[in-house]
Amino acid sequence: MATAKDVMKMVTDNEAKFVDFRFTDTKGKEQHVSVPVKAFDDSKFTDGHAFDGSSIAGWKGIEASDMLLMPDPNSARMDPFREENTLIITCDVIEPSTGKGYERDPRSLARRAESYLKSTGLGDTAYFGPEPEFFIFDEVRYSEGTNRASYFVDSIEGVWNSDREEGPNLGYKPAKKGGYFPVPPTDTLTDIRAEMAMTLEAVGIPVEVFHHEVATGGQCELSMRFNSLKAMADWTMWYKYVVKNVARKHGRTATFMRCRVLRSSCDVVHRCIEGVFRKVSCRAKTANGYDQKWRRDRNHTAKISEELHLFYGLSKSK
C-alpha cells in the first residue's frame, strides 16, 4: 500500500511540475483540477482539496457546494500525455460536514459496495474483467438546431468508402460485420492499438489481449486483466483516457458510444463479473513449523456461481 510519503517521493523523482486531481461524476464522466507542485504537500492527504461541486451535473446546489477531493496514494501515476511532467492522482469525493464519501460519488459507492459484500458473508472479493469496445474514427461531425439534427462519422476502413476517390483507393475495407479479425492491411489500426496497450502497461495496467472487432469502420477491443471493483473502475477510467488520447495523438477520435454505425455491431462491454471469492484459512507446514495460508473456498464459490446464474437470469442445465 502506497503512502503520502511515497507519492511525494514520486513527485520528486519524476520532477513533476503539476498534480492533477481526478474524480468521476455520477454519469461516468471523468473530471480534473490541477495544482502547481508547490501547492501540493502531505496535508492534501489529510485535509483534502476543496472544490465547488455545484457545477457537476446532478450534484450540489450552490448553497451547499463546498466539497473535498481526498487523493488515494495507491492511484498515483505520471501522465503519459502532458507536455509538462504531471502526476495524476484519483480521488474520493468527501462531504466536508461528515468526512464521509459523497453518496453520488461512484468511487465512494464502489467502496461501500465492497464493504457490503464482506458484511453479507457471501465473499471477501468480487473480481471484474470488462472487455470494453470502441470505434476509432477519422472524422466526426454533428449539429443540432431548432429544426434539424445530424451526425456524421467516417473511417478509411468503412465499407461505405469502397468506391471513394482516395488517390488511390487501395480497397481493404472490412465488409459489413467483417472486421473480426483480419490481418493488416485490412486492419489499419494494429499499431494504434499496440500503442494503447503499451501506454496502459507503462502506467501499471496489465493488458491481456487486443484486436479488431466485428464492425467495419474501425471497431476495436482491448482487454485488461481482472481486478476488484474499485480498482477496476479506476483502471477503466485510465483505459478510456489512454484510448482517447492515443487516438487523438494520431489525428483520430475514439468513442465508446454505442451503435455509431447504422446496422452494424455496437460497442458493448463483455464478461463483467469474473467471480466472488471467500478466503478460508488452512495451515501449511514450513521449515519453521506451520504458517497461516489462504486458499479459495471452492464449495462456497460454487454456491455463489448458482446465485450469479440467477443474477444474470440464466438457468443451470440439469
59-84 pLDDT, tens digit each? 988 877 889 999 999 999 999 999 99
Answer whether 138's CB lies under 8 Å from 124's CB.
Answer: no
Burial of 16 (0-12, 13-18, 19+ CB in 10 A): buried
Q: Is residue 109 part of a domain?
A: yes
Structural domain of 69 = 4-123
Q: Is residue 68 part of a domain?
A: yes
Q: What's the pLDDT score for residue 10?
A: 97
**Residues with Cβ within 8 Å of residue 86, at least 6 apart in sequence:** 16, 17, 18, 19, 20, 34, 78, 79
Size of the chain in residues: 318
Q: What's the pLDDT score for residue 278?
A: 61
Angle (deg, nearest 10), helices 229-249 and 106-120: 150
For residue range 232-286, list pLDDT tens digits in order. 999 999 999 999 999 999 999 999 987 667 656 665 555 565 566 665 444 444 5
Task: For residues 26 and 119, state if they share a domain.
Answer: yes
Task: For residues 8 and 79, state if they share a domain.
Answer: yes
State the CATH number of the domain containing residue 165: 3.30.590.10
Enter the pTM of the model. Answer: 0.85
* Amino acid at residue number 161: N
Q: What's the pLDDT score for residue 175?
A: 92
> At residue 202, does pLDDT exceed 90?
yes
Task: For residues 144 and 239, state if they share a domain.
Answer: yes
Residue range 128-142: mean pLDDT, rounded: 93
CA atoms of 13 and 16, how far apart (whole Å): 8
Last residue of a domain, one of 97, 123, 149: 123
Q: Is residue 227 part of a domain?
A: yes
Task: For residues 263 and 140, state if they share a domain.
Answer: yes
Query: According to DSSP H, which parts of the chain are helical?
Result: 4-13, 44-47, 106-120, 190-202, 229-249, 298-312
Q: What's the pLDDT score for residue 315?
A: 39
Q: What's the pLDDT score for residue 130?
A: 87
